[in-house]
Structure 1
């Protein structure tokens, strides 16, 4: 049998494979990135802002590193002076969904989930519609991640950068 006669069959099979193979999509799609080569010390690491933003919410981040040096849990959220979480505030979530298409109950867990996948905050992408929260997540997660590299489990307090209202067109 002529080996060139099998070429069209191979091309069709390859095309079907790529057509039906599930590929990641969306902003939280898993990128094909190498595993992090950073060594993290087991323990719980946290970072938060020193005061609330202009909406009255204080961002915080907590991650737990297992004995294998991997991030096994991550929490990113905001708390107000009453102790309420932004992800649980129905009215605020609806306001943000109406304004930018998604609310904290959508993007806060997405940041944490993506960190568990990538194992490095540098590799977690920003989320469209959550500009300020993307910045806050990166800043807080990177600070906690840096402490996890040295094993320093002291809570990190960072000065709040958002004491004034955001510029027009920027989303929280």
Structure 2
């Protein structure tokens, strides 16, 4: 990217950054359908207008993308997002965040509000999307196992400061017990 966007407006930054929130309700508009949420995501970082969209023209593209998610989202295109399960909403949020390939994908404890089974599914989906789309992602997590399992670099923070910076090769050698010792 090579641009400092720190002091730019959220609208400007949205061209470069995408985010999946901790709360599945935060990344989507509950009264809008899945299709309408995807239509909004399609325009992330671009100028938008209030003109009517034609869902039928877009639905093929959205169905194709939703099928890749693999949790039945493609059959829910006309369902209000508020009626989806937490896992489906989080999968939709991930799809929306990556619809326009961001320079940086921020994953803000994006599985914290999910049950263990759904967490595994969302983490597998996240890994798949990141690898297939060749995305740069920053995942914030308190799940130590996920911190060791995913990604190619691990930053450990304590009191707002980086206390450990591990490259992939160093991280792969660690056991969970070694990781816990960092916090002692």
TM-score by length of 1: 0.27
Structure number with larger C-alpha Rg: 1
Structure number with higher relative contact order (C-alpha < 8 Å, ≥ 6 residues apart): 1
* Bigger share in helix: 2
TM-score by length of 2: 0.26
